Each structure stands twice: as structure tokens, then as C-alpha cells.
């Protein structure tokens, strides 16, 4: 093997190792969530587009188009007042009899879940800034039946949301 071929081989191996290391680093960031987010990683790339007011389905994800937060009529004021110039949306979900749901978001945004006219306090939260495509995951213990999901304070005009039963 000539010096030129050896150099090409070494550069190729280095590129492969760099790719593997960066993939491992990305996965390591996702592994720092308090619970697994592998289902979200599978759902988010193919999440169908939806508008504010959409119906979310447990076990699926949506890519919500957000609107200026000051144009939304929230059922209750968001627990954290959204900054001017940010975006939000509302969505509906039917809570199954088990009652516990996990909402995962692709980017930074505030999430409130409203049932019977009251915001329900979350029972768990995990946020990671180093997991590509998933920013936070929040759990709520809810009553079976309808609930409203309120998203606010997003800096971008789209947000992927997964609704799952906790593992």
C-alpha cells in the first residue's frame, strides 16, 4: 500500500470515527433525560402537520403550526406569562382511564394542561438542551376525559408534540 493510499485510509477511518463519536454524543445527550425518549425520537421525524386547536392522540406526535401568542384565547392564563413576540397553540386530548400522560416537545415552550377549567400541576419534568430534536418532557396525572393542552412562549413558529403514556 502506497503512502497516498495509506493517508486516504487514515483520513477515511478518522471521518468514520468522528461520525460515530458525534452520533454517540448526540445519543448521550438524549440519555440524560430522567426517562427514555426513544419513542419521541421515532415519532417526531414523521409527525404530521396540524393547526392550533387540533386533536392530539395518545401514542402519536403532531407538528403544530404556532401563532402569535397574543392572538390565542387560552382557557386559563398560562402559568408562566409568555414573552412578547413568542408563539403558542392549543390542542385537545382525550385522557385515557389510566390518566397519566407524558407530553414531549421538540423545542423550548411552556406547557399547561387544563381540565375542568383548572391548570393541572405537572408530576414530573425533564429537560435537556443537548438532545437533538427533543427539548423537554413533562408528565401529568389527569382524570379520564377531555383536556386542553396550552403551549406558549415558543420562539419558533412550529413545535412537535408527542403525547404518550409514561413507560
User: What's 76's domain CATH number?
Assistant: 2.60.120
DSSP 42: H
Residue 91 lies in a domain: yes
Q: Give the range of the structural domain holding residue 93, as residue numbers without chain letter.
A: 30-164
Q: What percent of the chain has pLDDT over 90?
A: 82
Of the two residues 3 and 126, the one the predictor is more confident about is 126
Residue 37 lies in a domain: yes
pLDDT at 38 over 70: yes
Residue 18 lies in a domain: no
Residue 148 lies in a domain: yes
Residue 153 lies in a domain: yes
> How confident is the model at residue 29, as a pLDDT?
86
Residue 95 lies in a domain: yes
Q: Which pLDDT tens digit goes with each residue over 42-88?
A: 999 999 999 999 999 999 999 999 999 999 999 999 999 999 999 99
Residue 45 lies in a domain: yes
Is beta strand 67-68 parallel, antiparallel or unpaired with respect to 145-154? unpaired
What cell was used for 82? 409568555
Residue 125 lies in a domain: yes
Count of the separate structural domains present in the chain: 1
Is beta strand 49-51 parallel, antiparallel or unpaired with respect to 60-65? parallel
Residue 122 — φ and ψ, nearest 5°? -70, 155
pLDDT at 163 over 50: yes
> How confident is the model at residue 11, as a pLDDT?
47
Q: Which pLDDT tens digit goes with each residue over 18-31?
A: 444 334 444 568 99
Q: Which pLDDT tens digit goes with each residue over 141-155?
A: 999 999 999 999 999
Return the half-sphere exposure (C-beta side, CA atoms, 13 A cut-off) of residue 72. Answer: 28
Distance CA 62, CA 53 (A): 12
Amino acid at each position: 500500500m502506497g503512502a497516498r493510499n495509506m493517508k486516504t485510509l487514515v483520513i477515511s477511518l478518522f471521518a468514520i470515527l468522528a461520525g460515530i463519536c458525534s452520533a454517540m454524543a448526540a445519543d448521550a445527550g438524549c440519555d440524560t433525560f430522567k426517562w427514555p425518549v426513544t419513542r419521541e425520537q421515532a415519532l417526531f421525524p414523521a409527525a404530521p402537520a396540524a393547526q392550533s386547536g387540533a386533536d392530539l392522540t395518545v401514542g402519536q406526535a403532531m407538528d403544530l403550526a404556532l401563532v402569535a401568542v397574543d392572538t390565542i384565547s387560552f382557557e386559563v392564563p398560562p402559568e408562566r406569562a409568555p414573552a412578547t413576540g413568542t408563539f403558542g397553540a392549543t390542542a385537545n386530548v382525550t385522557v385515557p382511564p389510566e390518566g397519566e400522560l407524558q407530553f414531549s416537545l421538540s423545542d423550548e415552550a411552556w406547557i399547561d394542561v387544563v381540565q375542568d377549567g383548572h391548570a393541572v400541576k405537572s408530576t414530573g419534568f425533564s429537560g435537556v438542551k443537548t438532545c437533538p430534536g427533543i427539548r423537554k418532557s413533562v408528565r401529568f396525572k389527569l382524570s379520564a376525559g377531555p383536556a386542553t393542552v396550552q403551549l406558549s412562549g415558543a420562539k419558533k413558529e412550529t413545535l412537535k408534540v408527542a403525547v404518550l403514556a409514561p413507560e
